[in-house]
Amino acid sequence: MKRFFAFNGTISGSTFILRTLFSIVLSIPFIVITIAMFSSIVFNYMDIDFANANGMSMAESNTIGEEAGLKIAEEMMEIGPMAWFSQNISIIWIFVIILSLIPVLWFSLATYYKRVSALFYSNRVKAFFAFIAAEATLDIVGLTSVNNSVYWICALIGVAIYAYLLFSNSPVGEHDG
């Protein structure tokens, strides 16, 4: 198990795609914890208990959910988003969310490093940091841009980088990662 999280060895393109899919599976605890956190916040604003929720129709639950959303939005506008988050999200939730992200990030970074090592063995560290910097820059520019076409250009460049890592032939004969 340790070798899957280690930053040594190389991997082929097919192993790269499988490890990428497994990193999605590793992110399931993060998704579940995040949904649980936001659900607990919404249920606090709904002013109902779970015993009453059992016999509710879909229309009633939608109405209560909309009212809870309006209460959250009004309170956020009154006290500000940062004050609202500090009042409603405890440090334990933040700690658990970060703890659930650590294996996903570590495994994903190890996967990228192993694939970059297979393609650029002599300059693997520089190439790895260049790929990470390029992907981060594309994500930041694409997500902060107000122009929709800039977002799509950044997304397509990111997909092209991923496709290059996936489909390029590596000079390494036998992979050991």
pLDDT category at 78 given cuts 50, 70, 90 is confident
Give yes or no for residue 107 having a pLDDT over 60: yes
Helix residue spans in the chain (DSSP H)? 2-5, 13-26, 28-46, 50-53, 58-79, 81-88, 91-119, 124-144, 148-167
What is the rounded CA–CA span in Å between residue 162 and residue 3?
Answer: 23
pLDDT category at 52 given cuts 50, 70, 90 is low
- B/e letters for 82-110, b = 16+ CB within 10 Å, e = fewer, are eebeeebeeeebeebbeebbeebebbbeb
What is the rounded CA–CA span in Å between residue 172 and residue 118?
Answer: 6
Give me the residue spans of the domains in the chain. Answer: 2-167
What is the rounded CA–CA span in Å between residue 112 and residue 104?
Answer: 12
Count of CB atoms situated within 10 Å of the CB of 23: 19
First to last CA, the chain: 11
The predicted pLDDT at position 49 comes to: 62
Give yes or no for residue 176 having a pLDDT over 70: no
Report the Cα 167 to chain-centroid distance in Å: 24
Q: pLDDT digit string (tens) for 147-169?
A: 889 999 999 999 999 999 888 87
84-113: average pLDDT: 89
The predicted pLDDT at position 138 comes to: 93
Give yes or no for residue 102 having a pLDDT over 90: yes
Does the global pTM surpass 0.85?
Answer: no
